[in-house]
Structure 1
C-alpha cells in the first residue's frame, strides 16, 4: 500500500475505507492535517536563505540521479511508459531541479521605481504561503516536479497531490524531498480516490492558508479547478489540453518533417499534452508528405498500450466519426485494427488522411496515437483553420525559410512554436503554457518561479 506523506511521515491507515488496493486515499482529515502542517512550516521556510533552498533542490537532483532506474521501472509498470519516455522524464527532471536552483536569488530581486517628492518606493517579492500543486500521470517526474519545485524555490510550502494512475511514481518523487533534508511540512504528499477529488479540492482551495493552485490536466477538469478557485478568490496556474498541429509549407524538407511529425504524434503513445494531433498541408505538397508518413508508419512494430480502456473507447469513437466524414484510416501492416474489447487497452499508431474539418477529431484532443492530415488549397486557408482553433498550446512549422516561419509564428495564438521540430519539446529554461482552452500562466525558468511570488510595494517617506 502506497502511503501519504504528511509532516515528513508516511501516513498509512490500513483500516481506512478511503483507500484503493494500491494506495492510501486521503480523507478530509488527512487533507486538513496536510494544510495545517504546511501552514505551520511556512513562516520559517519562507525566511530561509535562497542559498539554502538552492542547496536542498540540488540535493534532490542528486537523489533523482541515484534513484532514476527505480523511477524508470516504476513508470514503465504503472503507466506503460516506453523506456525512452521514462528516461526522458528523469533527465528532464534533473535539469529542471538544477535550473530552478540557480534562479532563486535573481527571481527574488525587487526594485526601486521612481517616486514623488522625497519618498522612496521599494518593490519587494515575497512568497505567497501554501500552494496546492496537482500533477497528472502521463509524465510523472516532469510534471510532478513542475508542480512543486518553483513554489518551493520561491519560499512557499506545498501540498503535492499526485495522480491515482501513477501513485508509486509520485510517492517516490515526493520521498526525494524528505530524504534530501526538506523540513517537515514544507512538502506534503496526498493521493485520493477519483470520487473524492471534488470534495477534497474544495476543502483545500477554500482554506485561508492555501494561496494558489497550479494544475496540469484536461481542459474539462481545468474549468472546474479555475471556477472553484475564482469563487475563493485564489489565483491558479493552468496547463491544459492542446489540439497541437504541424504546418508543413511547400518548401519544407519533407523527409525531415515527416520524421519529426511521427515522433511528436506517437511518443508515449500520443499521451502527452504537446502531442501532434493535426497536420496542415497544401494539396500540392500533401501526396509527398503522406507518402513519407505512411512509409514510417509501415515500419512501426511497437504496439502502444493506453493508460485505460476508457481512453481507447474515446479514440475508437473519434475514428468512427472520422470514417463517417470521409477519412481514410491507416495502421501499420503488422497491427490489426483496434477492437472494442473493453479488457484490451492496446491501440495501434493511426494516420487519418482525407480528414474533413467537420470531423470531431479536428476539434477534440485525442490524447492517444492518432494523427490527422488536413489538406488545404493554400497556406492562407490553413492559417484560417489555425486561427479558428480554440486551443493554443504547441505548434510546429516546417519550412526552409526561418523568416517566413517567424512571421507565421507571430500570427499563431499558441504558447510555443517549434520551427522544423516536433511539437513535443520543452526545456527547464523556457516558459511553458498555453492560451485559450490550453490554460494560462507559465511554468518553467524564471517565469515559473515568479508565478509563486507576490509583489509588494513599500513607500518610505522622510
Structure 2
C-alpha cells in the first residue's frame, strides 16, 4: 500500500527528503493509507530561516494596502475550506480564525503609524514603527486553525516574515494553513512551514533561535515547555511572546444567577474535552449557595451528551492521577456516562466536589474534561484564594452587583476577567494573554500587531 507524506514548505516549495530518516508516522484508521509527515533537520530549519530572511526586505516594504489585500484573500480562502473535527469546534475555529484575519487586516495602517512627540529646543523627534525581521511562531494542536493562524497573521501583517513551526499532533491542519498562504498569493518565503519529530524538538528550536536573522519567537503551549522556550531565547537575547497554561477560576457570589453559572461552567469546563488554555478548572462558591449550585451542575453532568477523550495516554494518566489523589483526600468524584468508554483515550466529563488546598488538583492545570468545586465561607475568602494562583490567564466573577464585580476583577491577577460569563472567551478585537505562570505579552487586535514592531527614534536638530 502506498503512503502519503505531509511536506514542509520552504520558499513556496514542498520539501520531502528522499530518505525516511526524519519522517514521523501518523495514526491511520484501519484500512486507510498510511501517512507520515516530513520532519525537519537542523539544515532544513536553517534553510527556512534563510529563505524568510531573503524575503524580508521586499515584504517589509510592501505597502500596507497590499498586505491588507492579501490577508483578506487568505480569509476568503479559509472560509471555503473544510476542517475535519467536531462540528461545534470546527465552526468555532473557522469563525474565530477568519475574524482574526479580517480584524488584523483592518489594523495594518494604524499599527505602523509612528508619532512626533514634543522635544526640547529646536529639535523634532520622529518615532517610527518598523518590522523586526524573521519571527518564529510555534503553534499548539488543541485549536490548530485559530492558534496556527494567530502565530503568523500579526507577524506578517506588521511587515515581518514568519516561520510556522507546527505541532506533530495536528500536522495536517497546520500544513493546510501554510498552503492557504500560497493560494492567497503571498510571496515565497513570507510564510515558511516546518515540522519535526518530537525527539528533534530541542535541536531544531536551538538552531533557529540562535540564528541572527530570527528576531523574536511566539509560543502557545504548556508552562513547562514555555520556560524552556524563554530560557533558550534569553541566552540568545531574543524576546518571546508566551501564552501558556491556566488554572482558570470562577468566583460565585451569593446573589449570582445559579442556572446561568452552572451552564457557563459546564460549557467552559468540557468544551473541546477541556483541552483549551482558558478552560474552567476551579469554581469557588460561597457556602450559602454551594449546595444549590453543585446540584445544578450535577444535573447538567448527568445529561452531558458530548463524548470525551483526550489527546494522549500521558494526558489520560495525568488526569487519572489528579482525580485519584483528590478522591484519596476526601473529594467526591462525579463522572458522566461516556459513549467513547471503550476508546483507550476516553476520559469522562468529571466534577470533583470538595476540592481542598492539599489536593494536587488545586494547583495543577487539568487540561482535560475535569473541573473542581471549592466551597468558601465568604466572598472575601473566595477572592483571596482566586488571587493567589500562580497562573493568571482567564477568570470569571458571577454576581448581580456589577460594581462589586469590577472591584474584584481589579484584584484578580489574570489577563482577562469575565463578569457573568465563562472563562472560555476571546475575540479578535481584544488583547489576549496571561500573567505569572500563564506567560507574558499579548495576541489580539492592535496589541498583537505592536508585539511584532520595534520603535526607532530619529531626532532632527536645526
C-alpha contact (below 8 Å) 1:357/1:374 kept by paired residues: no
Deviation at 1:366, TM superposition (A): 0.6
Task: Tell me the equivalent position of 1:38.
Answer: 52
The answer to whether the 8 Å contact 1:331/1:351 transfers is yes
> Structure 1 CA distance, aligned partners of 2:378 and 2:178?
50
Alignment match of 1:101 (pick from 95, 101, 105): 105
Aligned counterpart, 1:79: none
Q: Is it true that 1:412 corresponds to 2:412 in the alignment?
A: yes
> Which residue is 2:16 aligned to?
12
Report the Cα distance in structure 1 between the residues aligned to 2:10 and 2:353, rounded to whole angstroms. Answer: 51
CA-based RMSD of the aligned residues comes to 1.2
Which of 194, 198, 214 in structure 2 is aligned with 1:194? 198
Q: Deviations over 1:390-432 (max 9, x none)?
A: 0000001111111111010000000001111110000000000
Match status 1:245 vs 2:259: no
- What is the CA-CA distance between 1:301 and the residue it aligns to? 2.4
For 1:316 and 1:118, locate their aligned partners in 2 and report how far apart those are by CA, in whole Å: 70
1:130-145 alignment, distance < 5 Å: 130-145=134-149
SS in 2 for 1:389: coil
Give me the whole-angstrom Cα distance separating, in 2, the residues matched to 1:382 and 1:302: 30
Corresponding position: 1:265 with 2:269: yes
**Distance in 2 separating the partners of 1:114 and 1:11:** 52
Q: Residue 327 of structure 1: CA displacement?
A: 0.4
- Bigger mean CA deviation after superposition, 85-94 or 426-435: 85-94
Measure, in 1, the Cα distance between the counterparts of 2:344 and 2:170: 19
Equivalent positions of 1:396-411 (< 5 A) are 396-411=396-411
Deviations 1:79-110 (A, max 9, x none): xxx32012100110000000000000000110
What is the 5 A alignment of 1:288-327?
A: 288-327=292-331
| Native 8 Å contact 1:64 1:176 kept in 2 | yes
TM-score by length of 1: 0.96
1:164-243 equivalences in 2 (<5 Å): 164-243=168-247
Query: Do 1:128 and 1:454's aligned partners in 2 also have CA atoms closer than 8 Å?
Result: yes
Q: Which segments of 5 or more consecutive residues in structure 1 lack a partner in the other structure? A: 77-81
Query: How far apart, in 2, do the equivalents of 1:63 and 1:335 lie?
Result: 36
Contact (CA 8 Å) 1:144, 1:173: kept in 2 or not? yes
- Report the count of equivalent residues: 448
What is the rounded CA distance, in whole Å, between the counterparts of 1:138 and 1:302 in structure 2? 17
- Corresponding position of 2:365: 365
Partner of 1:355: 355
Distance 1:223 1:259 in 2: 35
Determine if the alignment matches structure 1 residue 385 to structure 2 residue 385: yes
* Partner deviation per Cα, 1:181-217 (whole Å, 9 max, x = no partner): 1001000000011110111101000000000000000
- Any gaps of 5 or more consecutive residues in structure 2? 26-35
Deviates more, 1:83-92 or 1:447-456: 83-92
Contact 1:107 1:450 in 2 (8 A): yes
Match of 2:158 among 151, 154, 157: 154
Aligned to 2:33: none
1:52 alignment partner, one of 66, 80, 83: 66
CA distance in 2, matches of 1:86, 1:129: 33
* Structure 2 contact 135–161 (Cα < 8 Å) conserved: yes
Do the aligned partners of 2:393 and 2:415 also contact (CA within 8 Å) in 1? yes
What is the rounded CA distance, in whole Å, between the counterparts of 1:337 and 1:5 in structure 2?
36
**SS of the residue aligned with 1:131?**
strand
CA distance in structure 2 between the aligned counterparts of 1:117 and 1:108, rounded to whole angstroms:
27
Deviation at 1:143, TM superposition (A): 0.4
- Aligned-residue offset at 1:302: 2.5
Counterparts in 2 of 1:40 and 1:421: CA distance versus 1, 3 Å = same
**Deviation larger for 362-371 or 378-387:** 378-387
Query: 1:303 offset after TM fit, Å?
Result: 2.1
1:331–1:337 contact (8 Å) kept in structure 2? no
Q: Which runs of 4+ in 1 moved over 3 A?
A: 334-338
Q: Check 1:259–1:57 CA distance in 2 against 1; reply closer, same or farther (3 A cut).
A: same
Please say if residues 4 and 11 of structure 1, whose CA atoms lie closer than 8 Å, have aligned partners that are also in contact: yes
Tell me which of 37, 48, 66 is aligned to 2:80: 66
Correspondent of 2:281 among 277, 301, 304: 277
